[in-house]
Amino acid sequence: MERKRQPLHLEICMGSSCFSRGNRYSLQILREFIREQGLEDWITIEGRLCSGSCSKGPVININGREYPEVHPDSVKDLILHVFEGGNK
């Protein structure tokens, strides 16, 4: 049985700590990935200033849930996992 996909709203912390730890690259990777996969109607991205979790960065929030220490190399896998119904 296929799980129903839920739209995702991503908030990428662009505070100086998260930005320098990799979110500057994650943002670029995600924009390109969403465009290549045709997911513009399902996934939105918003940058935000410091999320207040600097020691856990880089931080990405997905539908209000915080994901700490998201490395640019793993950001696509995280998005696909959550998009396919993981981490409910």
CATH number of the domain that residue 67 is part of: 3.40.30.10
Question: Whole domain around residue 27: which residue ranges?
Answer: 12-83
Sequence-separated (6 or more) residues with CB below 8 Å from residue 80: none
Q: Is residue 71 part of a domain?
A: yes
How do beta strands 8-13 and 65-67 pair? unpaired
39-84: pLDDT as tens digits: 999 999 999 999 899 999 999 999 999 999 999 999 999 998 998 7
Cβ atoms 69, 23 nearer than 8 A? no
pTM for this predicted structure: 0.85
Q: Is residue 33 part of a domain?
A: yes
- Indicate the number of domains in the chain: 1
Q: Is residue 1 part of a domain?
A: no
15-44: pLDDT as tens digits: 999 999 999 999 999 999 999 999 999 999
CA neighbor of 26 nearest in space, from 52, 68, 64, 60: 60
Helices (H), the chain: 16-18, 24-37, 75-83
3-state secondary structure of 4: coil
